[in-house]
Structure 1
Amino acid sequence: MQQSIPRLSTRLLIGSGFLAAVLLIGTIGFAILEGWSLLESFFTTLLIVSTLGFSDLRPVDTYGRALTIVLILAGVGTLYYIAVTLAQSAIENQFGWGRRRQMDQQIARMRDHVIVCGYGRVGRETCRSLARHGAPFLVIDSDPARLATIQADGYLALNGDASDDATLIRAGIARARALLTAVQSDAANVYITLSARALNPSLLIIARAATTEAEHKLRIAGATKVISPYVLGGRSMASMALQPAVMDFLDLLMHSDDADTWLEELVVGPDSALQGMRVDETNLRERAGMTILAVWRADGRMLVNPPPDTILKHGDTLIVLGSRAAADRMGD
């Protein structure tokens, strides 16, 4: 709807300009051809263009009749153009309001979703990965021209400034599980992070940074994790050169749609049967065909390939390897 406003203004400006030109030509034309005063010529032109009051017209000669025909055709055409433009705008606004209301209702039903800020190259690939994992998410972008692209890709789109509190509240930031800010400007990412952290202190915020300075500022602003596409790209290229099989294996687990195995997180909750068990007592491999690769403690420590006697505690997150079906069952 916001995208149609400049287009409407341009079309109305064109129509108004053409109408003014028709009135000017008619006024000057009658003043020259018929010798009338400018006021009388303008009044006559106005009657002709509006197609009202033909009975009030003064008699004119052949040239005056020709000018009258031209004014009728041009005037009716111009008024029709303006009327169609206004009607189209009213219809677009009505449908746009309906779409916005429907979208707001969809967002209001979302829980534990991800908010993606920015739909550039990084944001678009982020959305593809989220969609592959079946995670609920929506996209915020300030460029109205990108809305059609986002919607064509099948994603829920919200047009607005992601650093604006009203936009984030509309996106359901209080109910979201994470916010990913991937706009191209580091300054914009900092502002978005500040706004998001103020609105939801416990939110997981992952921010994109192009420079080392921006990474430091983003952490101060409240980002939980800061990602540099250039650093990640460089590390991936080096790892691919040195450990190609390992990288292919990880890529298969994390990004393939056809892989039978899956890396998943299992959180040990307060009512979990795993709480208080030793790793070798969980029997996850026998029960669900899953292997515990690491235990992420609540205090941030990561126990890779944990010993069999490791006690699982409330708040631990298990990094497990297994089938997608098994991961889904254990997650439930």
Structure 2
Amino acid sequence: MFAKIKKILNLGNRPKPDINLSGELYEQLKPFRLPFVLVQLFLLFGTLGYLILEDYDLMQAFFQASYTFTNTGFGSLNEDKFGTITILFTVLLMICGAGVVTFGVAFIMSVVNDGKLIALIKEQKMIYKIARLTNHYVICYHNDFTIELCRQFLKSHIPFVVVDNSPDFAEQAQKHKYPYYIVDDPHTQIAMLKSHLSSAKGIVSFSKNPADNITMIVSARLFEEELHRKPYYIIATANSQEEAQKLKKIGCDSVVSASELMAQRISAMAVRPDMENLLERFLYKRDTLLDLEEIIVPRYSWLVLKKLKEAHFRDVTNVSVVGLTQKDGKYITMPNGNTVVSSECKLLVIGSSESIRATKRLIVKKQKPREVDYV
């Protein structure tokens, strides 16, 4: 029966986060021990007292002690027949009950009003939600770039977690409707565990301080080595060309300069307004009629060392290969059918979003697909 209940509630398959806040929660709940211990001691004291002083069985004595101690009732068990000693004992129990309950409520309210316990409970809930994510991006540091990127990720249904250590970040995250966020220093190992970085696809570091971006990249690469997993795709911002070169040297895959991007976009709009509109319509949106994407050919792919025409991309998946970048960096524009596909090269293909997804599925197969044989 319990197994069925767990299956219905999906408790057995609930993903576990990389970090647990039970220790911190226990520290916050420690102050609750004293009021609960006092309540139990006085209930035990009252129950034993009534067992000795009156002709009660155990349940009657416990019932009498409970509603006397909590001052919630009187008169259920012939209290009018109490002797003097029992009356004095009852009065003492009432006074102790009023004092302990008042003290306990005040003590608990002070802990709750402190806000740390509520914040920990919310953070624990968020960590369990993040634990369900896979192939997500961890966006480090909250600023205007983060806000805009998160909007684009939400439109494109790309999962992400935002991490920042600002005191008011939780309010900002709720204001901008971030589905997943962590309040912590992004470069720390605790933040990496909370953001479920072990299952992430990549990292975006948006700090305006170059030192923060450097620390984030180094920390991510070290964390990656500890896990013995494939490299993260790391993107960072830079304010200068010199800064961009430093970031690439320490392991950043792509460096973005806001001023350089803006200049390129404005230049494109001024020189080729029609081309800029085409890019806006087809390349920067998800699930459009036309898409352009690079696909890496893995070493185990059936297509390795085959001629490009043997894949029959145009007939099978309705895409066209408009470029090929070899592993050594050499780029071939508009490769013909006799071009040999090398291991770990990149194919630049153009087609619909669904066609490109079908092409990816075709390329990653180890054995030559049957649909290609029938063309």
Shorter chain as denominator, the TM-score bin is: 0.5 to 0.7
Structure 2 letter corresponding to 1:155:
P
Q: Aligned to 2:344, which of 311, 315, 320?
A: 315
Alignment of 1:169-318 (within 5 A): 169-200=193-224, 202-256=231-285, 259-318=288-347
Query: 1:281 Cα deviation (Å)?
Result: 2.6
Q: Whole-Å Cα distance in 2 between the matches of residues 132 and 293 of structure 1?
A: 28
Taking a change above 3 Å as real, the CA distance of residues 294 and 131 of structure 1, as seen in their structure-2 partners, is: farther
Taking a change above 3 Å as real, the CA distance of residues 320 and 268 of structure 1, as seen in their structure-2 partners, is: same
Q: Aligned to 2:130, which of 107, 110, 124?
A: 107
Structure 2 letter corresponding to 1:252:
R
- SS of residue matched to 2:321: strand
- SS of residue matched to 1:255: coil
Q: Whole-Å Cα distance in 2 between the matches of residues 91 and 187 of structure 1?
A: 34
Taking a change above 3 Å as real, the CA distance of residues 331 and 187 of structure 1, as seen in their structure-2 partners, is: same
Q: Whole-Å Cα distance in 2 between the matches of residues 148 and 163 of structure 1?
A: 21
Q: Aligned to 1:118, which of 141, 166, 170?
A: 141
Q: Whole-Å Cα distance in 1 between the matches of residues 158 and 202 of structure 2?
A: 11
Preserved contact between residue 294 and residue 319 of structure 1 (Cα < 8 Å): yes
Number of aligned residues: 254
Matched, 1:136 2:159: yes
- SS of residue matched to 2:168: helix
The TM-score with structure 2 as length reference comes to 0.60
- SS of residue matched to 1:109: coil
- SS of residue matched to 2:347: strand
Give unmatched runs, 5+ long, in structure 2: 1-101, 226-230, 362-375
Q: Which moved more, 1:124-133 or 1:282-291?
A: 124-133
Query: 1:134 Cα deviation (Å)?
Result: 2.5
Alignment of 1:2-21 (within 5 A): none
Partner residue, 2:185:
161
Q: Whole-Å Cα distance in 2 between the matches of residues 270 and 121 of structure 1?
A: 40
Taking a change above 3 Å as real, the CA distance of residues 199 and 268 of structure 1, as seen in their structure-2 partners, is: same
Q: Whole-Å Cα distance in 1 between the matches of residues 307 and 152 of structure 2?
A: 34
Q: Whole-Å Cα distance in 2 between the matches of residues 219 and 307 of structure 1?
A: 34
Partner residue, 1:148:
171
RMSD: 2.9
Preserved contact between residue 320 and residue 350 of structure 2 (Cα < 8 Å): yes
- SS of residue matched to 1:299: coil
Give unmatched runs, 5+ long, in structure 1: 1-78
Deviations 1:138-185 (CA, angstroms, capped at 9, x unpaired): 111122423233344243111111122321233233332211101222
Q: Whole-Å Cα distance in 2 between the matches of residues 154 and 91 of structure 1?
A: 25
Q: Whole-Å Cα distance in 2 between the matches of residues 292 and 113 of structure 1?
A: 28
- SS of residue matched to 1:320: strand
Q: Whole-Å Cα distance in 1 between the matches of residues 261 and 308 of structure 2?
A: 32
Identity of aligned residues (%): 22
Query: 1:120 Cα deviation (Å)?
Result: 1.2
